Structure 1
Amino acid sequence: MIEQLAALPTYETYKDSGVEWLGEIPAHWKVVPLKYSLSLNSEKISSRNSTLKYYGMENIESWSGRFIETESEVEGLANKFSENDILFGKLRPYLAKVALATCEGICSTEFLVYRAKKQSANFFKYLLLSTDFINLVDASTYGSKMPRANADFIGIQRLPIPNLPEQTAIAAFLDRKTAQIDQAVAIKEQQIALLKERKQILIQNAVTRGLDPSIPMRDSGVEWIGEVPAHWELLANRALFRERIEQGEEGLPLLSVSIHTAVSSEEISDEENIRGRIKIEDKTKYNLVQPGDIVFNMMRAWQGAIGAVAVKGMVSPAYIIATPSPKIASSYFEYQYRCPEFIQQMDRNSKGITDFRKRLYWNEFKQLMSVVPPIEEQTTIVTHIETQSAKIDQAIAIQQQQIDKLKEYKATLINSAVTGKIKVPELVESQDTA
Structure 2
Amino acid sequence: MSKTMKIERQALVPRLRFPKFRGAGEWEIKRLGDKDVSDFVKNRTRLNELNLDSYISTENILPDFGGIKKASKLPPSGSFTTYTPGDVLVANIRPYLKKIWVADRKGGASNDVVVVRPKSGVNSSFFASLLKSDAFIDYVMKGAKGVKMPRGDISLMKEYILAVPNTEEQQKIANFFSSLDALIAAQANKIDALKTHKKGLMQQLFPKEGETVPRLRFPEFRELGSWQYKNAGLLFSNRTEKGEDDLPLYSVTINDGVTKRDSLERKIDNISQASGNKKALRYDLIYNMMRMWQGASGVASEDCMVSPAYVVLKPKLNVCPSFFGYLFKTHDFLNTLTAHSQGLTKDRLRLYFKDFAQISLPIPHIDEQRMIANCLSSLDALIAINSDKLDALKSHNEGLMQQLFPRREAMDV
- The TM-score, its normalising length taken from structure 2, stands at 0.66
The aligned counterpart of 2:3 is: none
In structure 2, C-alpha distance between the alignment counterparts of 1:89 and 1:156, rounded to whole Å: 18
Which residue in 1 is equivalent to 2:257?
262
Aligned equivalent of 2:307: 315
Equivalent residue, structure 2, for 1:57? 58
Query: Structure 1: which 5+ runs fail to align?
Result: 1-14, 219-226, 420-434
Q: How is 1:168-179 mapped onto 2 (pairs within 5 angstroms)?
A: 169=171, 173=175, 177=179
Equivalent residue runs for 1:89-238 within 5 Å: 89-101=91-103, 102-103=105-106, 105-109=108-112, 111-120=113-122, 122-123=124-125, 125-131=127-133, 133-134=135-136, 137=139, 140-141=142-143, 149-162=152-165, 169=171, 173=175, 177=179, 180-181=182-183, 184-185=186-187, 187-193=189-195, 196-197=198-199, 200=202, 204=206, 213=220, 216-218=223-225, 227-228=226-227, 233-238=228-233
Write the distance in 1 (CA, Å) between the matches of 2:80 and 2:173.
Answer: 26
**Cα offsets for 1:225-280 (capped at 9, x unmatched):** xx22xxxx43222334444556656676543222334334x455686453xxxx35
Which residue of the partner structure matches residue 356 of structure 2? 365
Structure 2: which 5+ residue stretches go unaligned? 1-6, 407-413
Q: Choose 1 or 2 for highest CA Rg.
A: 1
Look up the match of 2:336. Answer: 345
| 1:305 maps to 2:290 | no
Q: Secondary structure at the match of 1:196?
A: helix
SS class of match (1:57): coil
Q: CA deviation at 1:372?
A: 4.3
Q: Which string of whole-angstrom CA distances, capped at 9 and with x for unpartnered residues, describes residues 35-80 of structure 1?
A: 32345548598x9988666532232234657442234677999873
C-alpha distance in 2 between matches for 1:240 and 1:162: 67
Q: Offset of 1:368 from its aligned partner? A: 1.2
Deviation for aligned residue 1:32? 2.6
CA distance in 1, matches of 2:298, 2:181: 41
Q: Which residue of 2 aligns with 1:32?
A: 30
Verify the 8 A CA contact 2:290 2:348 in the aligned structure 1: yes
Residue 369 of structure 1, CA deviation:
1.4
1:158, CA displacement in angstroms?
A: 3.9
Q: Does 1:289 align with 2:279?
A: yes
Distance 1:364 1:114, change over 3 A: same
- Flag the 1:356–1:411 CA change in 2: closer, same or farther, 3 A: same
Change beyond 3 A, Cα 1:151–1:195:
same
Aligned residues with identical type, % of pairs: 24
CA distance in 1, matches of 2:315, 2:345: 30
Match of 1:224 in 2: none
Residue 410 of structure 2 is matched in structure 1 by none
In structure 1, how many angstroms separate the alpha carbons of the residues matched to 2:272 and 2:357?
30
SS in 2 for 1:181: helix
CA contact (8 A) 1:55 1:108 kept: no
C-alpha RMSD over aligned residues: 4.9
Does the 8 Å contact 2:95/2:141 carry over to 1?
no
After superposition, the Cα gap between the structure-2 partners of 1:418 and 1:253, relative to the gap in structure 1 and judged at 3 Å, is closer
Residue identity opposite 1:196 in structure 2: K
CA contact (8 A) 1:100 1:121 kept: no
**Closer, same or farther: CA 418–348 of 1 in aligned 2, 3 Å:** same
Report the Cα offset of residue 314 of structure 1.
3.8
Provide the rounded CA distance (Å) in 2 between the counterparts of 1:179 and 1:312.
41
- CA deviation vs aligned residue, 1:296-334 (integer Å, no higher than 9, x gap): 2223223332344442524233x3344455564545543
* In structure 1, C-alpha distance between the alignment counterparts of 2:187 and 2:278, rounded to whole Å: 44
Equivalent residue number for residue 403 of structure 1: 390
* Residue 428 (structure 1) aligns with: none
| 2:4 corresponding residue in structure 1 | none
Q: Is the 8 A contact 2:249 2:304 kept in 1?
A: no
Contact 2:41–2:117 under 8 Å retained in 1: no
In structure 1, distance between residues paired with 2:249 and 2:351: 22
8 A contact 2:93–2:152 mirrored in 1:
yes
- The one-character-per-residue Cα deviations of 1:143-189 (angstroms, maximum 9, x if unpaired) are 6765555545543444333456775x559746963674356335523
Contact 1:39 1:116 in 2 (8 A): yes
Using a 3 Å threshold, how does the CA distance of structure 1 residues 242 and 184 change in structure 2: closer, same or farther? Answer: closer
Q: Secondary structure at the match of 2:358?
A: coil
CA contact (8 A) 2:244 2:279 kept: no
Q: What SS does structure 1 have at the residue aligned with 2:220?
A: coil
CA distance in 1, matches of 2:141, 2:363: 56
Aligned residues: 379
Q: Residue 286 of structure 2 aligns to which amino acid in structure 1?
A: V
